[in-house]
Structure 1
Amino acid sequence: MLEIFFSLNWINVFLALFLYSFLGFIWFTILFKKQYRISLGKENDTEPPLAMIFVLGPMLCTLVIIITTAILFSRLEIEKSTDALVWGSFIGIGFLSANTFNIAINPNIPKPILYGAISSAYHLVGINVASLLLVQKF
């Protein structure tokens, strides 16, 4: 298993991390900012300054997701873009979206369906972008 880890295309891994994270910035601060704040019940609250944990924490989690996906792709010999999209969608729906909705169904999330829809859609798009990047030959 370590040999697979060390043989990953780390340029692709970090490029995927950058794009997945940048997508998150665009998704939650521009495209769906208002809806996301509503889903959290914070639409009328003053926005606090952005703490680094809210930038670095998701990036670290995303890095783990991408490395896991890259290892899975290596073991399954996923090398074509079409296969990457199929498996990216499978991972996105079967793990990321399902887990996001599970987290959303929580008394602390006032609008769990809205939260789940916004966040799940982000992860589905993000993992597919990452999956496509992981199979590229740069």
Structure 2
Amino acid sequence: MLQFLTNLNWVSVLIAFAVYFVLGGLWFTLIFAKPYKASLGRDGETLPNKPIFIVGPAICSLVITVTNALLINALNIDTVGGAIEFALIIGIGYLVANTVNIAINPNIPRPIFYSVISGAYHLVSILIASVILVLMK
């Protein structure tokens, strides 16, 4: 599978990564800022803005995007419909499921609400990123 690394269109990977990462910034700080804070039990608070909260998600988004590009190439997905089907399977099967699993702990006061907000972000992001990866393959 690693031989596919040399066959990737790295421009498409970087564009898909940028969309994934920037959408996350917008999703959690502008679009769903209030509901996100409420899901964390931190209504009305200003959430900390340390470098780890920017660098960490950037690295994770990049790893997810590269992994998706590898899988898309290995599975020979070359249509938008195939990209959407792939994104729904991976998005729901891994990203959303993992988000729900992470949320179900005593530190997240509203785990289902958190799961909906964060899981939806990952699902939308992987849909967009997968379509970009296939269109620019």
Alpha carbons of structure 1 residues 46 and 62: separation in structure 2 relative to 1, 3 Å: closer
Q: CA deviation at 1:45?
A: 2.7
2:98 match: 99
Post-superposition offset of 1:26? 1.1
- Secondary structure in 2 matching 1:108: coil
CA distance in 2, matches of 1:62, 1:47: 21
SS in 1 for 2:73: helix
State the 1:60 CA deviation: 0.5
The unaligned stretches of length 5 or more in structure 2 are none
Measured against aligned partners, the alpha-carbon deviations of 1:79-130 in whole angstroms (never above 9, x if no partner) come to 1111000101111100000000000001000000000000000000000000
Q: Per-residue deviation at 1:51?
A: 1.2
Tell me, which stretches of 5 or more residues in structure 1 are unaligned? none
Shift of 1:137: 3.0
Counterpart amino acid of 1:44? Answer: G
The amino acid of 2:30's aligned partner reads I
Secondary structure of the residue that 1:109 maps to in structure 2?
coil
Q: Secondary structure at the match of 1:135?
A: helix
The residue number in structure 1 matching 2:60 is 61
Determine the structure 1 residue equivalent to 2:32: 32
Post-superposition shift, 1:6? 1.7
Q: What is the TM-score when the length of structure 1 is the normalising length?
A: 0.95
Name segments (4+ residues, structure 1) moved above 2 Å: 44-48
Q: Deviations over 1:61-89 (max 9, x none)?
A: 11111111111111110011110001011
Is 2:22 the counterpart of 1:45?
Answer: no
Amino-acid identity (%):
49
Moved more, 98-107 or 35-44: 35-44
- The aligned residue for residue 82 of structure 1 is 81
- List per-residue Cα deviations over 1:6-57 (Å, max 9, x = no partner): 2111000010010011111111011110000011111133433x11111111
- Provide the rounded CA distance (Å) in 2 between the counterparts of 1:43 and 1:137: 41
Alpha-carbon separation, structure 2, partners of 1:110 and 1:3: 44
Structure 1 residues 47 and 2: alpha-carbon distance in aligned structure 2, compared to 1, 3 A threshold: closer
**Structure-2 separation of matches of 1:7 and 1:31:** 36
TM-score, length basis structure 2? 0.95
2:118 equivalent to 1:123: no
Equivalent pairs, count = 137
